[in-house]
A = this chain, B = another copy of it.
């Protein structure tokens, strides 16, 4: 019955408004005030899901969902989740379910090889991979490992932690500053280097050098750089090769956050965006974003797993067991923030096998082609401009200079335009601001998206632009 429900959901998904149209608080008065004393039949629950829950869903699997970054489901991913829930094992240590640990190590080597990650990131090269829930966890784990390694060097004195500085650009995902805060980095020591349109919003190595030198001159200790491949605002790519060179000189841990764009590196023609990753310490991507693996599945590779283990391992008596005591097995609890962990590698393994690498590459390429087609349509309309060169499957655009006089007004016009586009219920896009420019983002990536949906998205944009009273907005 539930399988049928899901099948029907996907059959009907195009008829739903992508962005939920409910008002805040809609659900509370539709549901009882408390849990039922007696069991209710599943039919009743499914009916309520149809009537009360579905209207409150913003449909991430809708083919016209172009907002944020994609979060791709697929048949293999969903079945993998189902099996994970069915077996419901807790794989904190090897002994707690050997297959969960061993399959994860194998699949992380598979995927690492597909990405052409340098050997030192793979188990076969004395590094290794681990699956977490989200990039936030990957950032936390690597930050703590780097922090503790550094404190061991400089001494965990009273003021040790207060001296540590971390680096990112103003395009880096907010998860990084949050993770830094959580691990005790002082707010004033999160160095946010501005990125500009001249570098297509990539982090400029010279700016990093300047920041690091200035911090060292003040007696601070550079700790960690979060470089991004495919930033959230504009899918910008920080240049890993020169950044890692700077970092190495100053003994800075480099994490490469390729949450969205990392998946593209399984295609040889996109792999160059992570050239230089051999100089980094850790690398992560979210297979749930653009790799058909349902939420959550963040893949993290590190060159030095012992750094994670030194910070994150626990060995309470009640978890002791012969296999762990003898060494030679992976206890993933010691690689991550949490103890309990789901059998997440099962779905990733199923996605890889059930699709095959060739199809996965074609899937990613098809999204890039759709984004290219959209980019072309935008470029052909004199009212619009592409704000930054398209990267991967994301197009950043706005109604441009020829229509409105200055950026302040342009920002207002584009904000109104986005509101009316999303108000249509036919597509869902979100926005970004970079270098002071408000832009619309079309992020292609939903599993069901086809060329016609992207064409339709452009039609919606054009229609809403046609209907806009730009003069009126400019006037006020």
Chain A residues at the B interface, C-beta cutoff of 8 Å: 2-3, 5-6, 9-10, 19-20, 22, 24-28, 31, 34-40, 42, 44-45, 49, 52-61, 68, 71-73, 76-79, 81-90, 94-100, 102-103, 105-106, 110-111, 113-114, 133-137, 140, 144, 156, 158-159, 161-162, 173-175, 177-178, 181-184, 186-187, 232-233, 286, 288, 294-296, 311-312, 314-319, 323, 328-329, 337-340, 342, 346, 350, 352-359, 430-433, 441
Contact = CB atoms under 8 A, between A and B. Distances in A.
B24 A94 contact: yes
Contact of A134 (B38, B88, B99, B339): B339
Contacts of A338: 133-134, 136-137, 175
| Number of copies of chain A assembled together | 2
Nearest to A94: B24
Contacts of A78: 82, 85-86, 88
Contacts of A103: 27, 31, 53, 56
Nearest to A351: B35
Given A26-B102, A27-B106, A183-B183, 17 more contacts: A2-B82, A5-B86, A20-B95, A20-B97, A35-B110, A44-B353, A57-B89, A60-B90, A61-B88, A71-B88, A71-B90, A134-B338, A174-B316, A175-B339, A296-B340, A296-B342, A317-B431
A257 to B, nearest CB: 12
Contacts of A314: 174-175, 177-178
A39 B342 CA distance: 25
A53 B89 CA distance: 12
A33 B202 CA distance: 36
Contact of A295 (B58, B342, B355): B342
27 contacts: A19-B95, A22-B99, A31-B103, A34-B110, A35-B113, A36-B357, A37-B357, A37-B358, A38-B358, A39-B354, A39-B355, A53-B346, A56-B97, A60-B88, A60-B89, A60-B90, A61-B88, A68-B96, A71-B88, A88-B295, A134-B338, A134-B339, A158-B158, A288-B340, A296-B340, A317-B432, A318-B430
A182 B319 CA distance: 20
Nearest to A77: B85
Contacts of A105: 28
- What 3 pairs between A and B have smallest CB-CB spacing? A184-B184, A56-B99, A81-B85
A26 B98 contact: yes
Contacts of A318: 68, 232-233, 430-433, 441
A250 B432 CA distance: 46
Given A182-B337, A296-B340, A337-B182, A98 B6 contact: no
Contacts of A35: 110-111, 113-114, 352-353, 356-357
Nearest to A433: B317
Contacts of A89: 57-60, 71
Given A27-B106, A174-B316, A318-B432, A140 B87 contact: no
A116 B39 CA distance: 20
A131 to B, nearest CB: 13
A117 B95 CA distance: 37
B28 A106 contact: yes
B353 A58 contact: no
Contacts of A76: 42
Contacts of A354: 39-40, 42, 45
